[in-house]
Structure 1
Amino acid sequence: MSLQGKLLAPLVTALLVATGFTATGAATPATAAVPSTVPLTVTNNSGRGGPVYLYNLGTLLSTGQQGWADAGGTFHPWPAGGNPPTPAPDAAIPGPASGQSTTIRIPKFSGRVYFSYGQKLVFKLTTGGLVQPAVQNPSDPNRNILFNWSEYTLNDAGLWINSTQVDMVSAPYAVGVKAGDGSVRSTGHLKPGGYSGFFGALRGTPGGWANLVQTGPDGSPLRALAPGHGIESGALPRTVLDDYINRVWQKYSTSTLSVTPFADQPGTKYYGRVSGSTMDFTNSAGAVVTRFQKPDSDSVFGCYKLLDAPNDLVRGPISRTLCAGYNRSTLLVNPNQPDTGSAAFYQDAVTNQYARELHARMADGKAYAFAFDDVGHHESLVNDGNPQQAYLTLDPFS
């Protein structure tokens, strides 16, 4: 999968939701007509001085064109790029100063709202489209810029907006949506001390996890790379999860792993057993429906490669469930997946420490620490079929 494909994993999940399927199989309800744009209010509670820049980038769902939206929600397609990449048009929108708010309008996009502190981000265009920031690459021009982004889908069925940490933990923020009845739901806030606590915990975890932290010229943390990017950049050993993966493989060579991927379809079950070099899954009639090679750490962290999850109703849902179980290290303690609660998550000595430390510090316990953190509804996402207002809150660095 391409870098962009890995980056957009939670957005793909949002699209699955938007089209009527979630990781647990729940269908979204029918809704009233959604307006062509929705106001997004960005509030700066960061306490940081200096300018903030906003960017609203994505795919216009009505045409499939990629581009950007200005503050009023008007779409602008990207011009043709080049090889080597050429500078993209300046899509920056002035953001709010500390203690203030700015309201922009978001169109029917599958996209991202980026925000950066202190300086503008660098975007370029290739012949294949927009080049997203990739700060696991030390030569990326955005490496020393403090920034983050939220992903959203606004379509005729409603708004889905998340606070994502699939690629990195960086500048803290939360998202929210106001429903047609006036109620507001939000997610993404850290507990008091959660930001500094997360970086401190990661730095104190042996085995290479401290190497995920990237600092600025002044030594302050800019971000922590997600472990898949850590493997890609050489910061984290490729074998970091091997011991756990090996134990799972051994266990299910002599016992059965049951997967019930859809919460509203308890009768739909698949049964996994290791047979030679593969874990084979059968349906209730005993027919093999799909099989997986033994995954490596990168496949687990990225929920791709050897744990690929196509948008179907068999392999994809099984893979998503496996991915969640490996990352949360619950496959050895519970042969019936997915787990209904979080009490057993991240308890093995070999686990996704990045996800563990992040979830422990979220105010509501929810995060998008890996692509399919929505299995069991542990993701930091809010949605509404009749959205009146969206919110992005830049939180304190505490």
Structure 2
Amino acid sequence: MKTITQPFPLRAYWGNRALLCLFLCSLLTIGRSFGQTTVPFTLSNNSSYTDANVYVAVVGIINGNHVWIEPKTSTVRLMSASDNTVAGPVIGGNQGPGGNGLYANCFAKLNEIPNKTINIPGIAGCRILISFNSQLYLYFFGASGAPSGYAAPNLANPTDPNQGIRYEMIELTNAATGLWANTTRVDSYQYPMGLEVWGNNSFYKKVGELKTHAQILSQWQSTAPAEFAGCYDATNGIIKFPSKTAAFQSGGAQAGYFNSYVDAIWSKYTNDYLVFNAGNAGTFTGHVSGGVFSFTRASDGQAGRISAKPSQLEVMEGSGVMASGTDLDKVVQAQICAAINRHAIDLNIASGVSQDFATDSKYYVTSPYNWYCKFWHQPDISYNSLTYAFCYDDVFEKSSTINASSPIRATITVGGFAGLASTGVATVYKDCNYSGYAVGLNPGTYTLSQLIALGVSNDDISSIKVNSGYKVTLYRDDNFSGPTIVKTADDACFVDDAFNDSASSLKVETNTTAFSSVIQAEDYTYMAGIQTESTTDAGGGLDVGYIDAGDWMSYNVTIPTAGTYRVIYRVASPNSNTTLRLEKDAGATQLGSVTIPNTGGWQNWTNVAHNVTLPAGSYSIGIATSTGGFNLNYLTITDNLSARLATQNIEQQVTAATDNTLTLSPNPVRNQLYLRGYDKVQTLTVYDLGGHEVLKVPNPGSTISIQSLQTGVYIIKLNRRDNSIKTIKIVKQ
């Protein structure tokens, strides 16, 4: 674990980094009483974890004392060793700083926090910590004195009690100059995050990731150059900052990755002069003498310097000689450190010719550069390409820092913005034609005064359009209570002047629907003993066959909520009394077994099912057998509310009559299906494997667009004009 005593966030997860003058000026009030407006932070859950599996804590400094804020009540508490009452895991005999295996009772589950909102007063060095499936194990020393502060996760320590716990954070300071807040990728990436801040005078800024966790990991693995491939930690599903990996440390394969570039810079400017524009900080001219890189500012002749040629670690982490000396030294060090990571110093420019380090089109073009940082600044990964990928990413405002001089509220989107419309999941309009001005709202709570601050006039609100999968609830008062009006995607227009007559606040949230997930048998992550083969089952494709006693397959799943689920297996077997079992934890946890009947052949398919209890989260499950002697095409995991309908829809495939004059192609399909014999069809209906109707086409023609459907497996029901029915399974790519 690492002891945290410094008051400054805004630089790295747990490291102590020097701050630029900009942040030093913003934090001059640290150590004195804050008089700032309290800012409500609402947590919106757009993740694969349920609210009951998301844990939240808030720590920081007020009036020079280390404090924590109770998430359920927003009450400020002084840190005390007496708060260490939660038993944590003991790894390798490590009993923690207290020697008793106890840690701070400072976390709350998201579903326990009223309105998912925590009120943050004037505070410095604040971190909103968010962990998944478990709280983090922090240790509180005390509010002041020595030692004080808290011990935080140190994943470089193999006996740290937080090993294996996924977590993220928002760093912030609420100071006299306003709210300063940011997401961070310094040290590592563990899960997508989003942050939005609203303020007076129509202030609004948004930062965060745009893709799901799985998409981000996939894109990293498919694009990372060999030098940075080791940053991906497959065991924990995270991406580490390069200097946190063995490859970039002393003795590693990439220990000298930046050395040639740094050596060339120090060599060139021993004879030449480097001139660069540091934006508001002025124009500097630098020269190396005796290994010291000294700079003079043109406007006033003041000096800043880098006391020695930096090591690779100092370049990547902004530490050592890149974070020491006077304030002006640190300004110069930040500029040069950022320029090296971005490879923005052009060694081909003649001595004394001014260079512009602010042109981001020149960043990450010429090797060597910090590819980790380039990845996070891609516009398809981070909103507006803003992120905190290394300690000096705020140079020329490329970081995810938000500064609101008069903040009103903030929303943290756990899971990032993947799947959320850029204008929000609900949109307020001036009239019931969904026209006039439009203000987008993401999941969260909004009082009428907050809506007005966003540019909404309470005299003009007439309609709210709600995206599919979400709902809006209007309340009578600002406490989100009293009589309510609920609007979903199918019933969205407020024609009754609800805002003017009765409503004073609203909540935007997910409109919970039934869960269903289909897993193709051939999409295993690991297996033993099996083979794939072509199947004649509806829809074609592959099945898993040659399953003998002792064979097994494992699959990755994400279960939204702990509870009982129906697991339906598509099987074929010419044998009697064969069985399969479902398990997790590499077989240590048995989830249940099911008997497979004799279906009359290896390609005669039917469904068998059982109910199993599954925990929430992302993990692996396994299918194993002590008998073998069957084939498996796919399995469906669904909640019990939709299991019966899902089973019925799937089983319709078995009883459907063969009709070669009525076909759908291609299969698998991307965007458009071609229907042969369409003149015989009265209605074409598409169902997901949860039994939900997702598309209906009366009197279809020869082509049917399915571009709007998500990737997955669907059942298409063709109602023929002779009142017979044919069903076909398709795979949407």
Partner of 1:210: 229
SS at 1:301 equivalent: helix
- Match in the other structure for 2:374: 356
- Report Cα offsets for 1:72-99 as digits up to 9, x if no partner: 33211111499961234211022159xx
Which residue of structure 2 aligns with residue 280 of structure 1?
294
**2:170 and 2:184 in contact (8 A); partners too:** yes
Q: Indicate conservation of the 8 Å contact 1:18/1:158, yes or no.
A: no
Which residue in the other structure is 2:97 paired with? 85
Could you give the per-residue CA deviations for residues 124-180 of structure 1, whole angstroms, max 9, x where no partner exists? 245343112122333322220111111001122211110111121111101111112
User: What is the match of residue 264 of structure 2?
Assistant: 247
Q: Is the 8 A contact 2:183 2:193 kept in 1?
A: yes
2:681 equivalent in structure 1: none
SS of the aligned residue for 2:383 comes to coil
Give 1:210 deviation, angstroms. Answer: 2.3
Cα distance in 1, alignment partners of residues 244 and 417 from structure 2: 23
| Partner Cα distance (1:349, 1:384) in 2 | 36
Root-mean-square deviation (CA, aligned residues, Å) is 3.3
Cα distance between partner residues in 2 of 1:7 and 1:156? 15
- Residue matched to 2:39: 38
1:244–1:3 Cα change, 3 Å = farther
Distance 1:155 1:95, change over 3 A: same
C-alpha displacement at 1:257, in angstroms?
Answer: 1.2
Q: In the alignment, which of 172, 192, 207 is matched to residue 172 of structure 1?
A: 192
CA contact (8 A) 2:273 2:285 kept: yes
Q: Indicate which of 347, 360, 378 corresponds to 2:365.
A: 347
* Deviation for aligned residue 1:281: 2.2
What TM-score do you get using the length of structure 1 for normalisation?
0.82
Aligned residue in 2 for 1:29:
none
Provide the secondary structure at the position in 2 that maps to 1:364.
helix
Deviation per residue, 1:268-323 (Å, 9 max, x gap): 432112223222223448886534311111001111102124561x2111111011
Q: Kindly indicate whether the alpha-carbon contact (under 8 Å) linking 2:207 and 2:384 is maintained by their aligned counterparts in 1.
A: yes
Residue 90 to residue 84, structure 1, CA distance change in 2 (3 Å): closer
Q: Supply the distance in 2 between the matched residues of 1:391 and 1:191 (Cα, whole angstroms).
A: 18
Q: In the alignment, is the contact (CA less than 8 A) between 1:40 and 1:105 conserved in 2?
A: yes
Determine the C-alpha separation between the residues in 2 that align with 1:15 and 1:307.
12
* Residue 30 (structure 1) aligns with: none
How far, CA to CA, are the matches of 2:391 and 2:132 in structure 1? 26
Tell me, yes or no, if the aligned pair for 1:228 and 1:302 is still in contact at 8 Å. yes
Say whether residues 1:269 and 2:288 are aligned partners: no
What is the match of residue 105 of structure 1? 119
Deviations 1:240-288 (A, max 9, x none): 2112212222222232112333x235xx432112223222223448886
Residue 75 of structure 2 corresponds to 74
Question: 1:355 & 1:108 partners in 2: Cα distance?
Answer: 32
Calculate percent identity across the aligned residue pairs. 23
Higher Rg: 2
> Residues 234, 338 of structure 1: CA spacing in aligned structure 2 closer, same or farther, 3 A cutoff?
farther
Aligned match of 1:295: 310
- The equivalent position to 1:188 in structure 2, one of 208, 213, 234, is 208
Of stretches 72-81 and 138-147 in structure 1, the one that deviates more from structure 2 is 72-81
Confirm or deny: 8 A CA contact 2:211 2:417 kept in the other structure: no
Structure 2 runs not aligned, ≥5 long: 28-34, 85-94, 142-146, 419-733
Corresponding residue for 2:221? 200
Provide the rounded CA distance (Å) in 2 between the counterparts of 1:396 and 1:164: 13
Contact 2:292/2:305 (8 A) holds in 1: no
Structure 1: distance between partners of 2:361 and 2:258: 21
Q: Cα gap change, 1:234/1:185 in structure 2, threshold over 3 Å: closer, same or farther?
A: farther
Distance of 1:358 and 1:384 partners within structure 2:
24
Is structure 2 residue 133 aligned with structure 1 residue 118? yes
Once residues 387 and 395 of structure 1 are traced to their aligned partners in structure 2, the CA distance between those partners, rounded to angstroms, is: 23
| CA-CA distance at 1:108 after TM superposition | 1.6
Q: Which amino acid aligns with 1:149?
A: M
CA distance 1:183–1:363, shift in 2 (3 Å): same
Instruction: Tell me how far apart the structure 1 counterparts of residues 76 and 20 of structure 2 sit (CA, whole Å).
Output: 20
How far has the Cα of 1:353 moved from its partner? 1.4
Q: Distance in 2 between matches of 1:287 and 1:90?
A: 49
SS of the residue 1:290 aligns to: strand
Aligned 8 A contact 1:338 1:375 in 2: no
The alpha-carbon distance between structure 1 residues 305 and 92, as it changes in their structure 2 partners (threshold 3 A), is same
**1:34, 1:385 within 8 Å by CA — same for their partners in 2?**
no
Tell me how far 1:113 sits from its aligned partner. 0.4
Aligned position for 2:632: none
**Cα distance, 1:338 vs. partner?**
5.4
Larger RCO of the pair (alpha carbons < 8 Å, separation 6+): 1
Looking at structure 2, the residues matched to 147 and 135 of structure 1 have their Cα atoms a distance apart, in angstroms, of 11
| Greater strand fraction, Structure 1 or Structure 2 | 2
Question: Within 2, Cα distance between the matches of 1:288 and 1:15?
Answer: 16
**CA distance, structure 2, for counterparts of residue 293 and residue 233 of structure 1:** 19
Determine if contact 1:325/1:331 at 8 Å carries over to the other structure: yes
Whether contact under 8 Å (2:294, 2:305) holds in the other structure is yes
152, 155, 160: which is aligned to 1:132? 152
Q: Is the 8 A contact 1:179 1:389 kept in 2?
A: yes
2:158 is aligned with 1:157: no
Alignment-derived partner of residue 52 in structure 1: 54
Aligned residue number for residue 323 of structure 2: 308
**Aligned 1:313-324 pairs, distance under 5 A:** 314-324=328-338
**Counterpart residue identity of residue 253, structure 1:** T
What count of residue pairs does the alignment treat as equivalent?
372
User: Which moves more between the two structures, 107-116 or 135-144?
Assistant: 135-144
Q: CA deviation at 1:197?
A: 4.3
SS at match of 1:10: coil
| In structure 2, C-alpha distance between the alignment counterparts of 1:281 and 1:350, rounded to whole Å | 24
Following the alignment from structure 1 to structure 2, what is the Cα–Cα distance between the partners of residues 260 and 136? 38
Going from structure 1 to structure 2, the CA distance change for 1:74 and 1:384 (only over 3 Å counts) comes to same
1:8-23, aligned counterparts within 5 Å?
8=9, 10=11, 16-17=21-22, 20=25
Contact 1:278–1:291, Cα closer than 8 Å, also in 2: yes
What SS does the aligned partner of 2:336 have?
A: helix
